[in-house]
Chain A
């Protein structure tokens, strides 16, 4: 009897501790999200998207240039990062699957996914920004691409490895050369997984600030030329939130709101595709 009572008490303590810590964790998440939603939502209006920043004190300023800059930088990052990531992952899972070097590259890519992004920023700064002599959207895109590549590389590798080997043999047995086996059979079977990896990597880099501070920097004017310094949402949030003007704070809240919603949607979409894949 006594031992059972002891166990009940222990169970009660463990349960209370677990619940308490869960609540503490959730509290901050909810706190951050709600304050962004409340303060951000009040900053959302058409001029946020349609106007460029106005001098402090003049109403009606927006962040059009930052939205467009962010979009251009992210698309350029995808153009660099997605092919390299997918093809590299394909090499690791297919042509180089029995290669010792492949294992090493995989392990390094795993490490890279948790690499401090500010180091990537400094790296691109010395590699591109210094020789060019000025900040640029290209440099920002390159920094984001470097962060994307190991993520896409690893998700591609893992997804392709899930495709049963017999399926490849069956395609070989019909006379298909390896590149067609990969293109027609392996990629098709892995399509949702590949897509999910790409989506999640975009969601990851869209919220990076540090690498952009050193590369694309900022610009309060609209520019479509990636060879110039380019504004991005994250760097704008950083500078506006630090600034002294209430107008700037409001815009920073608005930008935070948009970016949080964007990441949320991408993650939900990513999870949706993962579920869809598991169902099949």
Chain B
């Protein structure tokens, strides 16, 4: 019923000479939420940051294998700017830029060269609506983004990512800096967002993975231990290690 958006094939990743991701194979289904879980240091964030080549910012990192998006190997692409408009990212701490709410959402459009004022305004409004923030900010679009609360800032950042219509958005523990109410809002938002995009989310919170995702990948020490439908992982995991982790016996 659903299509594969991204195929990860034999992915290895090295920090210098240290191999931190070991032969990872996984398919990301379109218009679904895929959660990455595992104990601290298992490589889930490192894995996530391969999809938009964030590791390229730092010296001495090396990728092997393939991450195929519509048949194109993201690990070989030269045009990182185009790649990053196809693969959005939302970070752990909200990262509003020091500019107005409107300019924050419009920033990706500016980078893409979309200048027509009416078009930009339409996209900003649409993105803020999709991020369930429009009603709260529509009267103060020119206020600084830093005046928003933490949860609002995180939804603003999601709107900013949505504005460039990415194929997939990567979420790196997007709720770990938020209170429970703001977290609930973001989780609800995520389940709506899968209608318009695809989501890959790293989370420390296993209940969150169980609540929002269709697929769950369990990682341990740089390896993908198990990848399956979420209900299968949480009710009847194939691997003993997975069961130990989700029942809280380690990690």
Contact = CB atoms under 8 A, between A and B. Distances in A.
B97 A170 contact: yes
B84 A172 contact: yes
Contacts of A184: 97, 99, 107
Contacts of B88: 173-174
A27 to B, nearest CB: 44
Given A172-B54, A174-B111, A185-B97, 12 more contacts: A164-B93, A166-B91, A166-B93, A169-B95, A172-B84, A173-B84, A174-B164, A175-B82, A175-B164, A176-B107, A185-B98, A189-B98
Contacts of A169: 54, 57, 91, 95
A188 B97 contact: yes
B46 interface: no
B111 A176 contact: yes
B85 interface: yes
A177 interface: yes
Interface in B111-138: 111-112
A184 B100 CA distance: 12
Q: What bracket does the count of chain B residues touching chain A fall in?
A: 20 to 34
The B contact surface, by secondary structure, is helix
Contacts of B54: 169, 172-173
Interface in A224-268: none
A175 B111 contact: yes
Interface in B54-89: 54, 57, 59, 80-85, 88-89
A167 B157 CA distance: 11
Interface residues of A, number: 20
B111 A180 contact: yes
B216 interface: no
A244 to B, nearest CB: 58
B191 interface: no
Interface of A: 98, 164, 166-167, 169-177, 180, 184-185, 188-189, 191, 280
A280 to B, nearest CB: 7
9 contacts: A164-B93, A166-B95, A167-B97, A169-B91, A169-B95, A173-B52, A175-B80, A175-B81, A188-B99
A170 B98 contact: no
Contacts of A172: 54, 57, 84
A177 B157 CA distance: 19
A173 B85 CA distance: 8
Residue from the set A169, A175, A184, A280 with the largest chain B CB neighbour count within 10 Å: A175
Q: Which 9 A-B pairs have the closest CB atoms?
A: A170-B95, A175-B84, A173-B89, A189-B98, A175-B81, A188-B98, A174-B108, A175-B85, A185-B97
Interface string B92-106: 110101110000000
Contacts of A164: 93, 95
Contacts of B155: none
B146 interface: yes
Contact of B81 (A98, A167, A177): A177
